[in-house]
Amino acid sequence: AQSVTQLDSQVPVFEEAPVELRCNYSSSVSVYLFWYVQYPNQGLQLLLKYLSGSTLVKGINGFEAEFNKSQTSFHLRKPSVHISDTAEYFCAVRGGYNKLIFGAGTRLAVHP
């Protein structure tokens, strides 16, 4: 069965600093991976996804993630964060019937 572990529940960072949000997955089948962002009192918005091809995936708002099969990881990175990046970030793996199986989330808090 597929599962996702997000290693950090909260990540505080100063504005303009780089950030990495960690995600590890478990899957016995072909892996499709996603990062979603949830701003306060809003639904989830897709940041980026890995389906196949290049292991470095670029998404919206300057985020990118790298699929590492040997380490079963899909960490999310941004070289310079803004206050507006403060949100909850969820990593997910596709499961049966194409449903997404989510991690517990990482709360990114960007401070001035």
Partner 1 sequence: GAGVSQSPSNKVTEKGKDVELRCDPISGHTALYWYRQRLGQGLEFLIYFQGNSAPDKSGLPSDRFSAERTGESVSTLTIQRTQQEDSAVYLCASSQGLAGVADTGELFFGEGSRLTVL
User: For residues 96 and 112, which CB has a smaller minimum distance to partner 1 in the complex?
Assistant: 96
Residue 48 C-beta: closest distance to partner 1, Å: 10
> CB of 74 within 8 A of CB of 102?
no
Dihedral sign, Cα of residue 10, residue 15, residue 76, residue 42: positive
User: For residues 81 and 92, which CB has a smaller minimum distance to partner 1 in the complex?
Assistant: 92
Rounded CA separation 13/19 (Å): 7
Rule CB under 8 A: say whether 99 interacts with partner 1: yes
Instruction: Find the binding residues for partner 1 in span 16-35 (CB under 8 A).
Output: 32, 34
Rounded CA separation 112/102 (Å): 30
Residue 80 C-beta: closest distance to partner 1, Å: 26
Rule CB under 8 A: say whether 7 interacts with partner 1: no
Residue type, 42: Q
> CB of 27 within 8 A of CB of 34?
no
Binding site for partner 1 (CB under 8 A): 6, 32, 34, 36, 41-46, 49, 51, 90, 94-105
